[in-house]
Amino acid sequence: MPIKIANDLPAAKVLSSENIFIMNEDRARNQQIRPLRIGILNLMPTKITTETQLLRLLSNTPLQVDITLVHTKSYVSKNISEEHLINFYTTFDEIKNKKFDGFIITGAPVEELEFEEVEYMDELRDIMNWTKENVYSTLHICWGAQVGLYHHFGIPKYKLNKKMFGIFEHYSNDQKLPLLRGFDDEFYVPHSRHTEIKKEDILKVHELFIASESEKAGVYAVLSKNGRQIFITGHPEYDKETLSLEYFRDYNKGLPIEIPFNYFKEDNPSKDIKVTWKSSANLLFFNWLNYYVYQETPFEIENIKKQ
């Protein structure tokens, strides 16, 4: 949230140079506030788990956030009841004539397919095109980031030799960037994926900036330079138990699966889990809502312009 201080306070110049949002008395007096309209396209089969994880992070703000949950019409997950979708979700057809301040496109367990092989790719393409005209800022997560970078910028994904699985250390490339404000020099993020995007491909696209990366996990956060598209290659929203459930699910099926890196204490699955990513996850979503949505979106939502 912005801070209101006297116009001539000496600290104002220092804080402004650090990209801290300062609101002068005149602007504060005339500030208009309304609920933020946020859509979530939930592509995960575990819809209730994913919606709970994301809503927990989106609730970490003093702002009122109005949530619309969206599912694909061209493909309906078999892991969720029709009743849940009818009661709590909507389809793209029902929102395509609306504007949103922010929109989230989640990951999906389809990364080993080519993008064009994904059953709902045509519908997703329509949704991603729609976000550029009707959403102020869109946050793409994991496979959602990969497909977003591919669709908007032609950036391919590559199959990894082994699954990127565990909790990995990351660093910021610009500590004054509002998205990473408050982050430590090193912070941790869960990853669970079989594919990657490559730094050299992103560097060829002048509209994009790599905000954060990892020695082991590679590129983590990519932004369009106007901040209206954000791509996060990991799963900051994951709960404490998520990687454990994935590990034991595959282990108990006799599938080849390595112990998630830097996750269990002493790398021993019989021991407790080290939770090292919660604070950075909360900061990421708070910063996105505050700096890239609330402070930038027009008060009259219909005035959102094409990117």
Annotated binding site for substrate: 163, 192, 249
User: What is the full DSSP assignment across 37-95?
Assistant: EEEEE---SSHHHHHHHHHHHHTSSSS-EEEEEE--SS---TTS-HHHHHHHEE-HHHH
Burial (CB < 10 A; 0-12, 13-18, 19+), residue 17, is: exposed
Minimal CA–CA distance to 72: which of 152, 136, 128, 117? 128
- Residues at the binding site are 163, 192, 249
Distance CA 14, CA 193 (A): 41
Amino acid at 96: K
Q: Which of 51, 196, 213, 237 is catalytic?
A: 237
Task: Tell me if 256 sits within 8 A of 208, measured CB to CB.
Answer: no
Q: Confirm whether 206 is a catalytic residue.
A: no
Q: Confirm whether 235 is a catalytic residue.
A: yes
Q: Which helix (H) or strand (E) holds 281?
A: helix 278-287
Q: Confirm whether 142 is a catalytic residue.
A: yes
Q: Which of 142, 170, 191, 213 is catalytic?
A: 142
Q: Which of 71, 140, 191, 235 is catalytic?
A: 235
- The catalytic residue positions are 142, 235, 237
